[in-house]
């Protein structure tokens, strides 16, 4: 039973996933700081408010913090853009370069007499009737 668990844990997928989660958590902190400290003030200039996160309204004693939600939307958008441009696009480019298939073997050849395309195993040209070596 422990042997199977050891094989599972030491497989590349589990380690890669663990590294991805840790890096993602650190990246989330950076993006949240970017939104809170740099982007929110720029949006605040347009919206004429100094702090977006404190925007809220109350209804029957319940506090709705829509400014915090707007910060979360901006953060999500930035994470999605960063993941797409810095992870997905380079990986797709790398995979497409690695998967270049060799050109397929030709299935036709040219007749030396009339220059028509004939099947590769043809003995005579179907167009001019000349023998093909």
List the CATH number of the domain containing 23.
Answer: 1.10.1200.120
Q: Are residues 53 and 14 in the same domain?
A: yes
Indicate if 112 and 75 belong to the same structural domain: no
Among 41, 64, 38, 60, residue whose Cα is nearest residue 52: 41
Burial class (CB in 10 A: 0-12, 13-18, 19+), 132: middle
133 residues of the chain, pLDDT tens digit each: 788 877 776 776 777 788 788 888 888 888 778 877 887 777 777 777 766 777 888 999 999 988 888 878 887 888 788 778 887 888 888 888 888 777 788 889 999 889 899 998 888 888 888 888 7
Contact status, residue 106 vs residue 120, Cβ threshold 8 Å: yes
Are 84 and 23 in the same domain?
Answer: yes
Judge if 83 and 46 occupy the same domain. yes
Q: The pTM is what?
A: 0.51
**In this structure, are 24 and 86 located in the same domain?**
yes
Into how many domains does the chain fold? 2
Show the domain range for 75.
2-98
Distance CA 52, CA 40 (A): 6
């Amino acid at each position: 039973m422990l042997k199977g668990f050891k094989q599972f844990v030491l497989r590349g997928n589990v380690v890669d996933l663990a590294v991805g989660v840790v890096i993602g958590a650190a990246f989330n902190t950076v993006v949240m700081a970017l939104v809170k400290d740099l982007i929110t003030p720029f949006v605040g200039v347009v919206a004429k408010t100094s702090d977006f996160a404190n925007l809220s309204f109350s209804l029957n004693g319940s506090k709705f913090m829509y400014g915090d939600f707007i910060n979360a939307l901006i953060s999500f958008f930035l994470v999605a853009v960063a993941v797409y441009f810095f992870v997905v696009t380079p990986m797709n480019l790398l995979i497409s370069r690695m998967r270049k298939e060799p050109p397929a073997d030709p299935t036709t050849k040219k007749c030396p007499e009339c220059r028509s395309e004939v099947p590769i195993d043809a003995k005579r040209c179907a167009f001019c009737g000349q023998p093909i070596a």
